[in-house]
Structure 1
Amino acid sequence: MKKHETGFPYRHVAGYLLSIIMTVLALIIAFKTDLSFNMIMLVIGALAILQAGLQLTMFMHVNEGESGTINVINMAYSIFLAVVIVAGTIWVLTSGHAAPIN
């Protein structure tokens, strides 16, 4: 079992600062660059995913403890299921497989 730390929470401060930096970077990219709309959305989406991962590891300690590996595997599986459901729904609704309505 991990010993309880009583010192200054350097990891939490570092995680907070990195989250702020990523948010400001997303704002700069959105408002101060001449990138295309699709590229801006791609960069902001990538920064959002990185920030979510950072917050899960730094603040929620998802990979620590006895069930850390199980938590990571469960989250990866949940993300996989969400992607399959959303992509499958979009595919079915846009591919025209439905019978025509008369």
Structure 2
Amino acid sequence: MKQSNVTSSGADHGTYASYITGFILSILLTIIPYYIVVYMDLSSGIKTLLIVLLALAQLFVQLVFFLHLNTRSEKGWNFLSFVFTMLVVIILIGGSLWIMYHLRVNMMI
């Protein structure tokens, strides 16, 4: 039997160590905001900013360690489709907020 040399351009699967690293980082990025809200005496604006930054870090950890999103997989198409999806979501959310703001302003006579 002849073996074929098939090369895969798909996403590589993570190692056991990378999954453990991602899991530990996810746990830490969940516990830290809880600690900030419950035990730290900060203004609500600073708490909100810290929680949003930690949520973005959590998103990054999930994408890299568990979904294996990087620019190498599928020749960058996975990353490009993710960027396009985020652009569409931002446009939808931003447009909805813009419409709701102007409706509120114009309805308050």
The bucket for the TM-score relative to the shorter chain is: 0.7 to 0.9
| Runs of 5+ unmatched residues, structure 1 | none
RMSD (Å) for aligned C-alpha atoms: 2.8
Equivalent position to 2:31, from 20, 24, 45: 24
The percent identity for this pair of structures is: 23
Q: Distance in 1 between matches of 2:92 and 2:77?
A: 22
Task: Report the structure number with the largest CA radius of gyration.
Answer: 2
> Between Structure 1 and Structure 2, which shows a larger proportion of helix residues?
2
* Higher RCO by CA contacts (8 Å cutoff, separation 6 or greater): 2
| Runs of 5+ unmatched residues, structure 2 | 1-6
**Pairs aligned (count):** 97
2:74 is aligned with 1:67? yes
Q: Distance in 2 between matches of 1:79 and 1:54?
A: 16
Q: TM-score under structure 2 normalisation? A: 0.72
Contact 1:62 1:68 in 2 (8 A): no
Q: Quick check: 33-42 or 57-66, which moved more?
A: 57-66
**Deviation, structure 1 residue 46:** 1.6
